Chains A and B, each alone.
Chain A
Amino acid sequence: MEDTITITMNSKPKEKEKKSKSLWAHAFDSLKKNRMAMASLSIVVLYILIAFLSFTGLIGGEWAKEIGPAYDSPFWVKWMSGQAASFSIEHLFGTDILGRSVFYKMIKGTEVAMLVGFATGLVTMVIGVILGAIAGYFGGKVDEIIVWFYTTFSSIPGIMLLMAITFILGKGIIAVFLALGLTSWVSLCRLIRADVIRHKNREYVHAAYSVGASHSRRLFLHILPNVFHLVIINFSLTFQTAIKSEVILSYLGLGVQDRPSWGIMIDDAKLELARGVWWQLLAATAAMFVIVLAFNILGDALRDALDPKLKGK
């Protein structure tokens, strides 16, 4: 028996390769064909790069330095009104109230945004996957308790939870991560639970049981890879929602402290707009718009590529 298989495999290697293409390989192929998705992916990579460079201090390190008078308008605005001004990248978006470069603050803010998105996605993933998988797999009382828990949790308006959690943890970036993560795991938990329930009585799981696989092995090694596409799709959704929520936290005075973030920049604009200073709002909103849009498009493309139910639509 084994010999014949080896022979066929050797004689027609190409056909075999085609047949065994996994969900992930298929998904990657269809992503590669989607030009919008690839463009979004490169934008995400670019932002990660900027965040990394800013983290190491190679760019945007001098954001706290005074480069000109307070509320100095961008050089291109001066050009439009006929004033003389020289081109300089640090004056691209003018200066803020302390005469600091808004452009550098925008760059530095990328770091906070990417950190907040990533950490929130991670917290959401850990809580959502573990609770959802356990509830779906074991069912019964365990399931009832977990369902009760997330029903309760999701009944409380998100903004109240956000506020209460940052209140308890104190202000700072860790509190922001946890608050945003703790308020956004429920939808992933629901999805994972429903999908695990669908999978747990499939034949491959029974087969694993029959050869003596333990509960945790069946759940985490056999079922979880088959529902993991939900996690990826959800991650891209959580990422961009977290970036937007950071703005609200900053408005409430509960955001990150001591370093520039897009949320703080947008919040600052509430005092600046009446004085005709709009460049800080523009810079932060534009920076945020591009990355959130990229994540939205990428998330949609990922869902189309990874969710077999939607194929052909």
Chain B
Amino acid sequence: MNLWAYVLRRLLYVIPVILGVCFIIFILFNVFSPDPALLLLGKHATASQIVELRRELGLDRPWILQYLDIVKSAFTFDFGRSWSTKQEIFYMIKQGAVPSLTISLPSFVIASTVALSISLLVAYFRGKFIDKAGVFLCVALMSISSLAYILFFQWLLAYKWGMFPIAGFESGFPDFIEYIMLPLIIWLILSLGGDVRFYRTVILDEIYQDYVRTARAKGVGERVILFKHVLKNAMIPIITQIVIQIPFLILGALLLEAFFSIPGLGGMTLSAINSSDFPVIKAMTILSAIAYIVFSVITDVLYTVVDPRVRLS
């Protein structure tokens, strides 16, 4: 099968998955969830108020139409208005995307670079003390709740030592830097353990291959082997891992945004969750699902392009 046919087939497979995502959202929020009219109006609503609100929100329409509404919004990106702020959701998302990416993009790039460098270091010293201590440290880092990290560092570095602003955000190039420093540090600590462990495993997988033994046998230095031979081959799973994380950047770091009052998508989603703002929750779920699906197609295609060993079947 040629590559384009494969790409086309993968793209076509996106459609049933998006329909499935819409169906799950429909089941969760339209069929099984508590009546949103009751949630919005509170305990003392009269029956006529409830009926009226249900009509206004389109909840009295047949289920098949409600499902088709969700499907339509997934393809047109017209998500309607928020129940709590009454704003266009598409506009809210456009507004929130910039602060979210301001935090998540630099954090992601720096965290991935640091993690990759450390994993090369521990792989170079594999089996030695540095490696063992490094792996243990990674596991230890991963054993603490993310909420505990955020609370602790915000308290210690921002509140107690005053190194960073406690919370807040400003847009524009030099202004935002001081606001993203602390979230960036916390992001780094949160992702370091898992990333280093993953990259180390990938690199070690390559180090035990026959071609490395051959290179060593013909007298190539350990450093050249690591950077030229091993890294080149290990790059395939590493890039895959990096690409598949990109869609999660769109949602931003929910907790970080909430704690540092960053007006991004993550914070928006959390406040939508707190105020049962279904249209916003649905919109964010659909958007992040679509991003995830699209990027997994990209990953798969990249894999087959870069690695000739992966057969198209």
Contact = CB atoms under 8 A, between A and B. Distances in A.
Contacts of B289: 155-157
Contacts of A313: 204, 208
B245 to A, nearest CB: 13
Interface residues of B, number: 43
B284 interface: yes
Contacts of B23: 152
B3 to A, nearest CB: 21
Given A148-B20, A153-B24, A296-B143, A160 B159 contact: no
A278 B155 CA distance: 10
Given A152-B17, A251-B255, A285 B159 contact: no
B57 interface: no
Contacts of A248: 145-147, 255
B20 A251 contact: no
Contacts of B270: 252
Interface in B124-167: 139-140, 142-148, 151-152, 155, 159
A288 B155 contact: no
A274 B155 contact: yes
A273 B20 contact: no
Nearest to A163: B273
Interface string B23-38: 1110011001110000
Contacts of A247: 145-148
A159 B252 CA distance: 12
Contacts of B115: none
B88 to A, nearest CB: 21
Contacts of A297: 139
Contacts of A25: none
Interface residues of A, number: 44
A267 B24 CA distance: 30
Contact of B143 (A149, A157, A263, A289): A289
A240 B144 CA distance: 10
A253 B288 CA distance: 23
A176 interface: no
B281 interface: yes
A131 interface: no
Interface in A230-260: 240, 244, 247-248, 251-253
A253 B281 CA distance: 17
A167 B17 contact: no
Contacts of A175: none
Contacts of A267: 147
Given A157-B251, A168-B28, A296-B139, A148 B151 contact: no
A281 B152 contact: yes
A154 B296 CA distance: 11
A9 interface: no
A220 to B, nearest CB: 28
Given A148-B20, A156-B289, A266 B273 contact: no
Contacts of A293: 139-140, 143
Contacts of A151: 17, 20
Interface in A260-313: 262-263, 266-267, 269-270, 273-274, 278, 281, 284-285, 288-289, 292-293, 296-297, 300, 313
Contacts of B248: 157
Interface string A118-156: 000000000000000000000000000000110111111
A161 B20 CA distance: 14
Given A157-B289, A274-B159, A148 B147 contact: no
Contacts of A168: 28, 32-34
Contact of B33 (A167, A253, A269): A167
State the 5 A-B residue pairs at the shortest beta-carbon distance, nearest first. A152-B20, A292-B143, A293-B143, A164-B28, A273-B155
30 contacts: A149-B20, A151-B20, A152-B20, A152-B23, A156-B21, A157-B248, A157-B289, A159-B254, A160-B285, A160-B288, A164-B28, A164-B29, A168-B28, A244-B145, A244-B146, A247-B146, A247-B148, A252-B270, A266-B148, A273-B151, A273-B159, A274-B155, A278-B155, A281-B148, A284-B148, A285-B144, A288-B143, A289-B144, A293-B140, A313-B204
Interface of A: 148-149, 151-157, 159-161, 163-165, 167-168, 240, 244, 247-248, 251-253, 262-263, 266-267, 269-270, 273-274, 278, 281, 284-285, 288-289, 292-293, 296-297, 300, 313
Given A160-B285, A164-B28, A248-B147, 14 more contacts: A153-B24, A157-B251, A159-B254, A244-B146, A252-B273, A252-B274, A262-B145, A269-B151, A273-B159, A284-B148, A288-B145, A289-B144, A292-B143, A293-B139
